């Protein structure tokens, strides 16, 4: 059955049944509604010092009936007779009280609780649990910490705020990519991106580029994931809270999609009460934080027309043709090359001055919330536009959001949400190619005035075969328009005491429309650009339509078995469907005035259509036993099948087991003097399995015979990758231990977690001997591990009426290791890339290490130079048992001998990451900073060598000045270790100063903020910024700097007003 309108088919077929079913439920449920008699309860919620707690939740226990306290801590709630009322708030221990009909008021004082043990957190879908019961780490980020961050990208705003997460901004473009990796890399064939769930809807964060087709169609950036990852469509302002589940056990509910962790996002909801309007507007400025060194010394070796003047060998004929040229013979790897050593006068320019600009942006949000105790609504609208620091680059996003919560009965409510986003980006070619803004500068000798034009206003050629950098920002047009809706409908029923039935259906649907246009270069005749730079023009249009659907039914039951023993049971069914329709057409040799594929030469037009579809269904059951609300034991199992799996593999089972123990709630602890110093302690442990299916294609189980455009005749190519006979998900099992501790009357909170992830059945694109008829086969043959610790510390230093000071520290350490790729310790996989970075997967090493030619060194570690005093490659004998080892070879004269050897010369996986946050508020002033650190990490700086080879870099200048020996740059060409830089950094990620404006009538709250983002970076990096990645959102090609746009420094002024 080949149908691509599957979603529609299911919905249509199901519609009649849905209607009947829903109708039946409503009739029965409304009939039962007469069952209770209610009254109104009022009261005030305060902390131990008597201060009100705005936003505290007041809820009828065991139901979804509830409300939130207002700014004064006051609430009013309609409750049934003889109900139990639970009052809770984030940062406080919850309290449960019995009320009877004759009681009309209930004031409660809550005790502060750093550990938030009674906070109810969403762990996925509609499933919630209290922290007390969790046997694993779950990290929450509140709306407050996503505000005043200086960015309007949700993922960017999370940087430095999630233990266990490494969040990297891969590009400084406003629509550039962001990656989150929780506890390291999980797959060597697929993505390590977590699963994102917004209000129960699984949302797409793929990177499918429709606007970088010049690169992707020409395979000019292999293994890179170019473009925007689609969480860019989410407005951080819409978020109420984010729960990040790092581990497999906690995420086991998501089965085959849980191994990368789950990010559970809850958006803002309406609150009962008078309509409240929140408005914010911000104005921002972006600038280049730090440039790179470009020489403007007015000299050049040889003659002005000598390309690559630092490294280009000069022939006798060239010496004769250019009088005054002298040469010196430089010996490299045993061969002598004549390099020019005379200097001539040239004029040099810093082309970056023509590429970068100071850019501006604005960000505006308005929302209205309100409702009564039966109906609550939230309506929001947003508009933001942010310019990039590269000329001509920007990103605009408009959003509309609506959520309605409607109580149908005391035991039934529904919630429906609709979110629409329209975004548009103006882009330029991503790094990676020499027609991108940064790379065109890096690869071009800067002795041409790029601003010169002919009489017709056309730019002129620069160095032969190179693109004038101004062409990239002035003429190339790559745009992407996205329309996206995320909708959900949720029904929550509590028909009986202890029983809950939750049903959710969610659809994430978006379309991406890409336009790509490179006009013919007016100076092609004199520049002679090669075909990969599209000398006669390029145009492509593409459309990607993605639909994701998930529907979950969860049934929960809670029962006190005895006075001390409580049982919670949960059973659920899930169905998920994914479809992507990708259509594109592209052509060359564009006609004047026409910027689309319609204007390209008909003989060059090609088109393609791709349909990617899969479904996944699962059932799961979970039992939790709680003893005295102190000790909990949870066991669960999930069973999955998916259309991606081979027929023999459709029964994937994922078990989990976890336990928690709140030691500090034991009587002995409460009564001991220890409690005065150490007042909270929870221990937790979990074991779980989870799967990852990002590494397997929807059609990996077949040998694909693909069509090729060839002389107008039907052509099929048998795939060079053979079929995987047993496609199944990659499987992770994880053991996690941890503790949540609080000291000094909750002034100091510590959470610590240690984990061990063992991943097996890793999907490997295993190399085959071509004599088998294929060059590769995708098999589940690898294994890998991640081990690490996560530490979080929160300190409330001062908490007084007018002054509060608190600090937070996060420390993460992860050790990734590939255990097996193909059964052989020497089976390495090269991750090819346009930067020429030697990125490898090697058993026994972390994923994606840089494996290449090191410097020859003396025993003391100093460089062993050639007799001419120049650095050189190491030689010796490579070990046959461990590809990373070698024996050094030395000739009688002490010089290296033997073959060139390779070893691990860098690691893009950091030793540790961490952050340090501080908040200070004094009367009307608020101050916040966030320092974010990534330490012990390597960056492969491809641009550094290019700049020097071209003759515009720091060593090139040193050679011209004579401060470095002639031939230095030439000697370094093949030494890959030279290009590996220390990428460790500490960044002043966020700085915010907020002033609470004086109260005036009609405005309940307003404040003005000055915000800075990425203001300072402490690093020793030779390029723009060590936080970068030419692989963009790729999890395998990391830490490579090749024409990447640097992350700007941002200043922002923001006004927030609530009416």
Of 933-992, binders to another protein (CB under 8 A) are 973
Q: Is 611 in the site for another protein (CB under 8 A)?
A: yes
Q: CA–CA separation, 263 vs 250, rounded Å?
A: 11
Q: Tokens for 452?
A: 């010169």
By C-beta, is 464 or 725 nearer to another protein? 464
* 840 beta partners: 830, 849
Near another protein by CB under 8 A: residue from 71, 81, 591, 601: 601
Residue 883: CA count within 13 A, CB half-sphere: 20
Q: Is 718 in the site for another protein (CB under 8 A)?
A: yes
DSSP 604: G
Stretch that binds another protein, among 100-108, 363-371, 590-598, 614-622 (CB under 8 A): 614-622
Q: How far is the CB of 434 from another protein (least distance, A)?
A: 10
Q: Is 613 in the site for another protein (CB under 8 A)?
A: yes
Q: Which residues of 216-228 are buried (b: 16+ CB within 10 A; e: fewer)?
A: bbeebbebbbbbb
By C-beta, is 601 or 1053 nearer to another protein? 601
Q: How far is the CB of 604 from another protein (least distance, A)?
A: 4
Q: Is 583 in the site for another protein (CB under 8 A)?
A: no
User: Under rule CB under 8 A, which residues in 672-711 are in contact with another protein?
Assistant: 698-699, 702-711
Task: Give the distance from CA 799 to its chain's centroid.
Answer: 35
Q: Is 619 in the site for another protein (CB under 8 A)?
A: yes
* 758 beta partners: 733, 785
Residue 31 Cα distances to 19, 24, 36, 409, 490, angstroms: 18, 11, 12, 10, 21
By C-beta, is 511 or 826 nearer to another protein? 826
Near another protein by CB under 8 A: residue from 279, 293, 349, 575: 575
CB 492 within 8 A of CB 502: yes
Q: How far is the CB of 822 from another protein (least distance, A)?
A: 9
Q: How far is the CB of 140 from another protein (least distance, A)?
A: 31
User: Under rule CB under 8 A, which residues in 546-565 are in contact with another protein?
Assistant: 551, 553, 557, 559, 561
Give the residue from 386, 387, 382 showing the smallest Cα distance to 398.
382
Near another protein by CB under 8 A: residue from 400, 481, 573, 1010: 573
Near another protein by CB under 8 A: residue from 610, 725, 844, 869: 610
**Cβ neighbourhood burial of 230 (10 Å; 0-12, 13-18, 19+):** buried
Give the residue from 224, 138, 70, 103 showing the smallest Cα distance to 1037.
224
Which residue shows structure tokens 């107008």?
712
Give the residue from 649, 6, 533 showing the smallest Cα distance to 218.
533
User: Under rule CB under 8 A, which residues in 787-846 are in contact with another protein?
Assistant: 826-827, 836
Element (H, E) at 951: none
Q: Is 752 in the site for another protein (CB under 8 A)?
A: no
Stretch that binds another protein, among 73-81, 475-483, 529-537, 913-921 (CB under 8 A): 529-537
Stretch that binds another protein, among 256-264, 661-669, 772-780, 846-854 (CB under 8 A): 772-780
Q: How far is the CB of 150 from another protein (least distance, A)?
A: 39
Q: Is 725 in the site for another protein (CB under 8 A)?
A: no
User: Under rule CB under 8 A, which residues in 4-43 are in contact with another protein?
Assistant: 4, 6, 10, 14, 17-18, 20-22, 24-26, 28-29, 32
Near another protein by CB under 8 A: residue from 34, 317, 455, 525: 525
Residue 947: CA count within 13 A, CB half-sphere: 29
User: Under rule CB under 8 A, which residues in 448-487 are in contact with another protein?
Assistant: 464-465
Pairing of strands 412-427, 394-409: antiparallel
# of chain residues touching another protein (CB under 8 A): 96
Q: Is 274 in the site for another protein (CB under 8 A)?
A: no
Q: Is 501 in the site for another protein (CB under 8 A)?
A: yes
Which residue shows structure tokens 């290019």?
946
3-state secondary structure of 938: strand
Q: Is 329 in the site for another protein (CB under 8 A)?
A: no
Q: How far is the CB of 562 from another protein (least distance, A)?
A: 10
End-to-end CA separation in angstroms for the chain = 56
By C-beta, is 173 or 874 nearer to another protein? 874
By C-beta, is 575 or 743 nearer to another protein? 575
Q: How far is the CB of 397 from another protein (least distance, A)?
A: 32
From start to end of 392-527, where are the E strands? 394-409, 412-427, 477-496, 499-518
Q: How far is the CB of 432 from another protein (least distance, A)?
A: 14
Q: Is 617 in the site for another protein (CB under 8 A)?
A: yes
DSSP 19: H
Near another protein by CB under 8 A: residue from 54, 80, 608, 621: 608
Question: What backbone phi and psi angles, to 5 degrees, belong to 64?
Answer: -105, 10
Q: Is 880 in the site for another protein (CB under 8 A)?
A: no
Q: Is 669 in the site for another protein (CB under 8 A)?
A: no
CB 390 within 8 A of CB 474: no
Near another protein by CB under 8 A: residue from 362, 643, 675, 756: 643
* Binding track, positions 216-245, relative to another protein; x by CB under 8 A: ------------------------------
Stretch that binds another protein, among 82-90, 496-504, 732-740, 1019-1027 (CB under 8 A): 496-504
357: CB partners within 8 A, 6+ apart: 387, 389, 390, 391
Q: Is 541 in the site for another protein (CB under 8 A)?
A: no
CB 230 within 8 A of CB 123: no
By C-beta, is 816 or 949 nearer to another protein? 949
Q: CA–CA separation, 643 vs 578, rounded Å?
A: 11
Q: How far is the CB of 769 from another protein (least distance, A)?
A: 4
Q: CA–CA separation, 453 vs 715, rounded Å?
A: 46
By C-beta, is 21 or 81 nearer to another protein? 21
Q: What is the per-residue DSSP string for 825-864?
A: TT--EEE--TT---EEE-TTS-TTEEEEPPBPB-TTSSB-
User: 942-950 vs 954-961: helix axis angle to the nearest 10?
Assistant: 30
By C-beta, is 298 or 725 nearer to another protein? 725
Q: Is 529 in the site for another protein (CB under 8 A)?
A: yes
Near another protein by CB under 8 A: residue from 62, 774, 876, 898: 774
Q: How far is the CB of 838 from another protein (least distance, A)?
A: 11
Q: CA–CA separation, 1036 vs 837, rounded Å?
A: 12
Near another protein by CB under 8 A: residue from 33, 715, 858, 924: 715
By C-beta, is 452 or 706 nearer to another protein? 706
By C-beta, is 14 or 725 nearer to another protein? 14
Q: What share of the chain is helix, strand, coil (3-state, %, to 5)?
A: 15, 50, 40
Length reported for the chain: 1059
By C-beta, is 25 or 143 nearer to another protein? 25
Q: CA–CA separation, 768 vs 763, rounded Å?
A: 15
Q: CA–CA separation, 455 vs 448, rounded Å?
A: 18
Stretch that binds another protein, among 318-326, 388-396, 511-519, 773-781 (CB under 8 A): 773-781
CB 937 within 8 A of CB 907: yes
Stretch that binds another protein, among 285-293, 447-455, 526-534, 842-850 (CB under 8 A): 526-534
Stretch that binds another protein, among 139-147, 361-369, 770-778, 907-915 (CB under 8 A): 770-778
Residue 154 Cα distances to 14, 192, 234, 691, angstroms: 36, 18, 6, 26
């Amino acid at each position: 059955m080949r149908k691509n309108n599957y979603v529609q088919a299911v919905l249509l077929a199901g519609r009649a049944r849905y209607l009947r079913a829903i109708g039946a439920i409503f009739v029965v449920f409304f009939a039962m509604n007469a069952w209770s008699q209610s009254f109104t309860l009022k009261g005030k919620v305060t902390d131990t010092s008597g201060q009100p707690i705005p936003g505290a939740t007041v809820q009828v226990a065991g139901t979804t009936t509830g409300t939130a306290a207002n700014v004064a801590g006051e609430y009013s709630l309609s409750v049934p007779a003889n109900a139990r009322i639970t009052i809770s708030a984030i940062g406080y221990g919850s309290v449960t009280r019995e009320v009877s009909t004759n009681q009309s008021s209930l004031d409660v004082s809550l005790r502060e609780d750093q550990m938030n043990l009674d906070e109810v957190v969403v762990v996925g879908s509609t499933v919630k649990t209290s922290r007390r019961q969790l046997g694993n780490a779950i990290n929450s980020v509140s709306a407050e910490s996503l505000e005043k961050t200086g960015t309007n990208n949700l993922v960017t705003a999370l940087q430095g705020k999630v233990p266990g997460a490494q969040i990297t901004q891969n590009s400084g473009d406003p629509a550039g990519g962001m990656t989150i990796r929780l506890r390291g890399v999980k797959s060597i064939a697929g993505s390590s991106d977590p699963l994102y769930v917004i209000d129960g809807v699984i949302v797409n964060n793929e990177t499918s580029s429709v606007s970088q087709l010049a690169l992707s169609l020409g395979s000019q950036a292999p293994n890179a994931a170019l473009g925007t990852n689609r969480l860019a469509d989410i407005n951080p302002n819409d978020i109420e809270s984010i729960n990040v589940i790092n581990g497999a056990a906690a995420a086991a509910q998501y089965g085959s999609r849980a191994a990368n962790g789950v990010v559970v996002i809850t958006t803002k909801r309406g609150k009962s009460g008078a309509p409240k309007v929140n408005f914010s507007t911000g104005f921002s400025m972006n600038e280049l934080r730090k440039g790179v060194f470009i020489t403007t010394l007015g000299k050049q070796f040889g003659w002005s027309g000598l390309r690559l003047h630092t490294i280009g060998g000069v022939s006798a004929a060239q010496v004769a043709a250019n009088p005054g040229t002298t040469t010196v013979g430089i010996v490299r790897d045993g061969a002598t090359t004549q390099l020019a050593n005379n200097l001539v006068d040239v004029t040099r320019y810093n082309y970056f001055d023509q590429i970068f600009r100071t850019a501006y942006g604005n960000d505006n949000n308005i929302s209205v919330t309100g409702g009564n105790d039966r109906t609550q609504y939230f309506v929001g609208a947003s508009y933001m536009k942010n310019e990039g620091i590269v000329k001509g680059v920007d990103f605009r996003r408009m959003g509309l959001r609506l959520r309605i919560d409607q109580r149908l009965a005391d035991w039934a409510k529904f919630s429906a949400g609709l979110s629409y986003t329209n975004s548009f980006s103006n882009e330029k070619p991503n790094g990676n190619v020499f027609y991108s803004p940064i790379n065109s500068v890096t690869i071009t000798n800067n002795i041409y005035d790029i601003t010169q034009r002919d009489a017709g206003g056309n730019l002129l050629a620069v160095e032969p075969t190179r693109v004038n950098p101004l062409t990239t920002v002035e003429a190339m047009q790559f745009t992407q328009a996205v329309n996206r809706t995320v909708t959900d409908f949720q029904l929550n029923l509590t028909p009986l005491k202890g029983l809950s039935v939750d049903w959710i259906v969610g659809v994430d649907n978006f379309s991406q429309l890409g336009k790509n246009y490179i006009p013919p270069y007016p100076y092609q005749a004199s520049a002679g650009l090669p075909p990969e730079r599209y000398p006669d023009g390029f145009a492509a249009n593409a459309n990607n339509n993605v639909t994701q659907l998930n529907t979950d039914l969860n049934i929960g039951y809670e029962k006190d078995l005895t006075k001390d023993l409580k049982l919670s049971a949960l059973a659920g069914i899930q169905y998920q469907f994914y479809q992507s329709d990708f259509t594109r057409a592209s052509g060359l040799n564009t006609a004047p005035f026409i910027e689309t594929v319609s204007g390209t030469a008909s003989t060059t037009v090609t088109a393609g259509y791709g349909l990617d579809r899969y479904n996944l269904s699962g059932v799961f059951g979970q039992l939790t036993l709680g003893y005295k609300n102190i000790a909990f034991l949870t066991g669960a199992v999930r069973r999955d099948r998916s259309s991606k799996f081979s027929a023999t593999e459709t029964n994937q089972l994922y078990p989990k087991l976890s336990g928690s123990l709140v030691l500090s709630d034991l009587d002995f602890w409460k009564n001991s003097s220890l409690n005065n110093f150490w007042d909270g302690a929870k221990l937790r442990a979990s074991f779980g399995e989870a799967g990852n299916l990002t590494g397997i294609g929807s059609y990996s189980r077949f040998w694909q015979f693909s069509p090729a455009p060839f002389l107008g005749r039907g052509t099929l190519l048998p795939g060079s990758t053979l079929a995987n006979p047993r496609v199944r998900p990659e499987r992770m099992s994880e053991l996690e231990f941890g503790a949540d501790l609080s000291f000094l009357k909750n002034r100091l909170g510590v959470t610590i977690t240690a984990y061990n992830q063992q991943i097996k059945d890793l999907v490997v694109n295993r190399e085959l001997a071509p004599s088998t008829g294929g060059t590769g086969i995708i098999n589940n043959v690898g294994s890998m591990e991640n081990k690490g610790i996560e530490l979080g510390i929160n300190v409330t230093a001062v908490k007084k009426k007018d002054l509060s000071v608190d600090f937070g520290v996060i420390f993460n350490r992860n050790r990734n290791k590939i255990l097996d790729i193909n059964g052989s310790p020497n089976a390495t996989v090269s991750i090819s890339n346009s930067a020429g970075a030697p990125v490898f997967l090697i058993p026994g090493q972390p994923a994606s290490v840089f494996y290449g030619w090191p410097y020859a060194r003396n025993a003391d570690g100093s460089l062993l130079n050639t007799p001419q005093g120049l650095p050189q490659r190491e030689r010796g004998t490579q070990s046959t048992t461990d590809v990373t080892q070698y024996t050094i070879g030395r000739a009688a004269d002490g010089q290296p001998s033997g073959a060139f050897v390779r070893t691990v010369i860098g690691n893009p996986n950091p030793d540790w990451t961490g952050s340090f946050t501080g908040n200070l508020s004094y009367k009307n002033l608020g101050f916040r900073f966030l320092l974010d650190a990534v330490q012990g990490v390597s960056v492969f700086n491809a641009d550094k060598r290019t700049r020097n080879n071209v003759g515009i870099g720091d060593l090139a200048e040193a050679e011209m000045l004579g401060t470095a020996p002639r031939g230095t740059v030439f000697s370094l060409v093949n030494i890959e270790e030279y290009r590996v830089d220390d990428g460790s950094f500490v960044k002043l990620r966020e700085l915010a100063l907020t002033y609470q404006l004086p109260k005036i009538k009609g405005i309940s709250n307003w404040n003005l903020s000055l915000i800075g983002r990425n203001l300072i970076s402490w690093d020793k990096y030779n390029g723009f910024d060590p936080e970068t990645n030419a692989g963009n959102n790729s999890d395998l090609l990391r830490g490579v700097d090749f024409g990447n746009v640097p992350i700007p420094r941002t200043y922002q002024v923001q006004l927030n007003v609530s009416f």
